[in-house]
Amino acid sequence: MALVDGEFYLLALLATLLCAVSIQVGTNFCNDYCDFHQGADTESRKGPARAVQSGLISPRAMLVATIIAFAIAGGSAWLLYLRAGWPFLLLGALSILLGIAYTAGRFSLAYLGIADPFVLIFFGPVAVAGTQYIQSLQFDETTILAGLGPGLISTGLLVVNNLRDIDEDQIAGKRTLAVRFGATFSRYQYAACMLGAAIVPVIFAINQNSWPPAIASLIIIPGLLLIRKVWRSSGAELRPCLGMTAGILLLFTILFCFGLGLG
């Protein structure tokens, strides 16, 4: 979106990418470490093997890796501060804090079942609007709308993950929305995320009076097939749905950017 407006700064892009990736890696490492200690990862786990739970790495080593990843995130957030001001230093600190708070302790976001809205906001509007601002140093409210697409699909990823692990999470006291409201609720939630993401480009196109970005709504075609698969699957059968959902997120991004270029 910044590039279409004639704004592009490579160093700012690299710092943004480093910050985002290191926060994600740190969150995953922290999740691996905390879920092992809190009993959510066991030998009956249906998802991919976890490093600590499977014995591939010691808990101490995973803790050190978590600290290193978040330290890199903090350093890159400082670079973003130098480019775009103190709000991005604050945003980096908040993102790191939420990454830790995702699974650290029995009152964490995941264990209380309140992680979904944070994923929607931070993987969607915050990520898109923040990245665009770092490039142009001007806020564009349309980036909030555009960000809802990837935010909804990212939330769908979390929904599939929680639906797959519903039995283990319930035993471990991890009160995700899937555990709180049941598998059927989660399947409806997933469908709402995918359908909502497909609607976003149309609303964006109407708002901008430019129809090419609406091409991203074509994700509804594989999206409906995937909704059907999620509805008919459970447990380990849902593993492929994670990769497929991520693929739809990538497809959405490519199509939306292509549409912006045409517009």
- Give a yes or no: residue 218 inside a domain: yes
- Give a yes or no: residue 51 inside a domain: yes
pLDDT of 61-76, one tens digit each? Answer: 999 999 999 999 999 9
Distance CA 37, CA 172 (A): 11
Choose the weakest-confidence range: 44-48, 125-129, 196-200, 205-209.
Answer: 44-48
- Give a yes or no: residue 249 inside a domain: yes
Domains in the chain, number: 1
Q: What is the pLDDT of residue 195?
A: 98
Distance CA 53, CA 111 (A): 18
Closest CA to 144 of 63, 207, 64: 207
Name the residue range of residue 141's domain.
10-262
Distance CA 209, CA 258 (A): 16
The mean pLDDT value for 118-130 works out to 95
- Give a yes or no: residue 121 inside a domain: yes
What is the DSSP track for 202-248? HHHHHHHT--GGGGGGGGHHHHHHHHHHHHH--GGGGHHHHHHHHHH
Q: How many CB atoms lie within 10 A of CB 17?
A: 12
The mean pLDDT value for 166-188 works out to 91
Distance CA 122, CA 120 (A): 6
- Give a yes or no: residue 2 inside a domain: no
The mean pLDDT value for 96-117 works out to 84
Distance CA 90, CA 96 (A): 10
- Give a yes or no: residue 79 inside a domain: yes
Closest CA to 4 of 148, 151, 187, 140: 140
pLDDT of 22-37, one tens digit each? Answer: 999 999 899 888 888 7
Query: φ and ψ at 145, to 5 degrees?
Result: -65, -45
Q: Please determine, for residue 229, whether its predicted confidence score (pLDDT) is greater than 90.
A: yes
